[in-house]
Homo-oligomer: A and B are copies of this chain.
Amino acid sequence: MSELLRVTPGFVLADVDADGVPGFDGGKKEGEQALADGAAELADLQERLYAQSLFGGGKRLLLVLQAMDTAGKGGIVGHVVGQVNPQGVKAFAFKAPTDEEKSHDFLWRVRKQLPPAGFLGVFDRSHYEDVLIHRVRGFSTPDEIEKRYGLINDFEAQLVAEQTTIVKVMLHISPDEQKKRLTARLETPEKNWKYNPGDVDERKLWPAYQDAYQRVFDETSTPDAPWFVVPANRKWYARLAVQRLLLDALRGMGLEWPAADYDVEAEKERLAKT
C-alpha cells in the first residue's frame, strides 16, 4: 500500500481520488479489522525503538501530518498513534506562532518539538504551514517562501542523518466531504467546539491551497523524506493507510531487542539470593 501512496516525480495531486482506497481490497468492516490487527505489531515495534534508546540507540520516527481542516488528523493521532504506549510518543499540534516564535526563524519552534531518541514524534501541522498558509495568505514574501523549500530539505536531511526516519503524510479530502464534516460540526452541539469561523475563510481558498500543496510535493518529496498522499474521504482507510506507513517505516529501521549489557547468569544468582 505504501508505494501506491508515495509522492514521486510527476505526481499530480489533482489526479488523486479522495474517495479511493489504493492497495486495499475490502470495505469499511475489513479495514477496521485490519487496523485492529496491526495494533500489536505497531506497539511491539515502537517498544523496541524505545528499548534501543535505553541502550544508546539514537533512532526515532517522525510522523508529519498536514491536511485541509476536518481531514482527520486528530483521528489519526487517536486511532493509530493511540495504538502504541503513550510513554514513547511525543505528539505536538502546531498553532499560529506566538510573538516569541515569530521573532525566530521558522524552524526554531519546530526543532524544539522533535522527538527524542526512541520516540515516535507526531506533528499535527508543522513547518510546512510556513509554505502553505504563508503562501496562500501572503504572510511571507514569495522570495522568502522560495528559500524555505530548500531550508526545509536541508533541515530534514540533517534529521535523517541524525537517525530520524521521517514519514510525511497529507490527508486528502474533497471539498464536498469537507462541507459535510463542517456542517456536522455546526449541527451537533457537542461538536461546536471543533468549528472555527475561520474554517470557512480557509475553505474559500481551496484551489490556492491545492496549488500550495502541489508545490510542496514538487519541492520537498525527497527519497529520504518522502511525502505520502492518503485519500481520506473514508476515515477507516486513512487510518489504516497511516498505520501501514508507520509499520513499513518501523520494519525498515532494524529494531532488534537490545542485548543485555550485563551478565545475565550472574544476575540470576544475585537475584535468587534476595
Contacts and interface: CB of A to CB of B under 8 A. Distances in A.
B86 A193 contact: no
B82 A91 contact: no
A171 interface: no
Interface residues of A, number: 45
A93 interface: yes
A274 interface: yes
Contact of A271 (B55, B74, B179, B271): B179
A193 B267 contact: no
Interface stretch (A5-13, A217-225, A253-261): A253-261
A55 B86 CA distance: 25
A186 to B, nearest CB: 5
A112 interface: no
A55 B196 CA distance: 11
A201 B259 CA distance: 21
- Say whether chain A's binding surface is mostly helix, strand, loop, or mixed: helix
A189 interface: yes
Nearest to A81: B86
A268 interface: yes
Contacts of A274: 179, 200, 203-204
Contacts of A74: 85, 87
Nearest to A257: B190
A271 B183 CA distance: 8
Given A85-B78, A86-B81, A270 B193 contact: no
Interface string A80-96: 01101111010101000
B82 A186 contact: no
| 10 closest A-B pairs by CB | A78-B85, A192-B260, A51-B193, A77-B87, A193-B258, A190-B257, A86-B86, A86-B89, A86-B91, A197-B262
